[in-house]
Amino acid sequence: MTEILQFSTPSCGQCPQQAEILQSLAADRPDVQFEKIDATEATAKANEYGVRSVPSTIVLDDDGTVISKFDGLTQANAIENVL
């Protein structure tokens, strides 16, 4: 199953908006799993995916391979194009 990871922090101003965009996208795509990750708590995972700023959105294919990475607020259509 395709997975979307959203890395955020509690102090990130754009992260709640990004989460809404991704949750809406995931609701329309039952074949996509959505996971929100606090980058301040999951630093090892953030480093694993090269997260240097938030929000960062990572799209993984069925095998867990990164197929796309978006830094900053990203609209649904850009992510949908990757899916």
Instruction: Give the closest residue to 57 by CA, choosing from 37, 31, 32.
Output: 37
pLDDT tens, N- to C-terminus, the chain (83 residues) = 899 999 999 999 999 999 999 988 888 899 899 999 999 999 999 999 999 999 999 999 999 999 999 999 999 999 999 98
The identity of residue 61, as a single letter, is: D
Whether 42 maps to a domain, the answer reads: yes
SS3 content of the chain, % helix, strand, coil (to 5): 35, 30, 35
Residue 44 resides in a domain: yes
Domain of 62?
A: 2-74
- Look at the block and give the residue holding tokens 């649904």: 76
**What is the model's pLDDT at position 38?**
97
| Of 23, 42, 43, the residue nearest 33 (C-alpha) | 23
In a domain, 41, yes or no: yes
Please report the pLDDT score of residue 67 as a whole number: 96
The domain tally of the chain equals 1
